[in-house]
Copies of this chain bind each other. A is one copy, B any other.
């Protein structure tokens, strides 16, 4: 997976359009599994992208449109960012049972 943490600049011209375009593009990468994103208003944004293997991530990393967007990101949109590429060793999840907070009478 790839973990991208970023603080943006004031200059967000074309950011949304490019971001939407990249979100479409990455779906065409074989082995792309999905993405999670959280954005603190006026603060840090974190995007986690999940890929089946290193090859899938390499294909995305070297995509021409993606690379052009990275250059624009450094030139305009990002104050700072860091990218960590990491191999998932274990995962687990939790989903609340629907009635967990409103138990029925018996």
Inter-subunit contact A91/B96 (CB<8 Å): no
* Mask: chain A, 58-101; 1 = CB below 8 Å from B; 0 = not: 00000000000000001110111111111111111111100011
Q: Of B36, B74, B101, which one neighbours A94 at CB under 8 angstroms?
A: B74
User: SS class of chain A's interface: helix, strand, loop or mixed?
Assistant: strand
Whether the Cβ atoms of A96 and B82 lie closer than 8 Å is no
A18 interface contact, C-beta 8 A:
no
A3 at the interface (CB under 8 A from B): yes
A87 and B89 within 8 A (CB): yes
Interface flag for A11 (CB, 8 Å)? yes
Known: A11-B101, A79-B96. A48 touches B91 (CB 8 A): no
Tell whether, in the assembled complex, residue B89 and residue A85 are in contact, meaning their CB atoms are under 8 Å apart.
yes
Q: Which residue of chain B lies nearest to A41 when distances are taken between CB atoms in the complex? A: B41
Task: Please state if B101 and A81 are interface contacts (CB–CB under 8 Å).
Answer: no
Name A1-52 residues within 8 Å CB distance of B.
1, 3, 5, 9, 11, 36-41, 43-46, 48
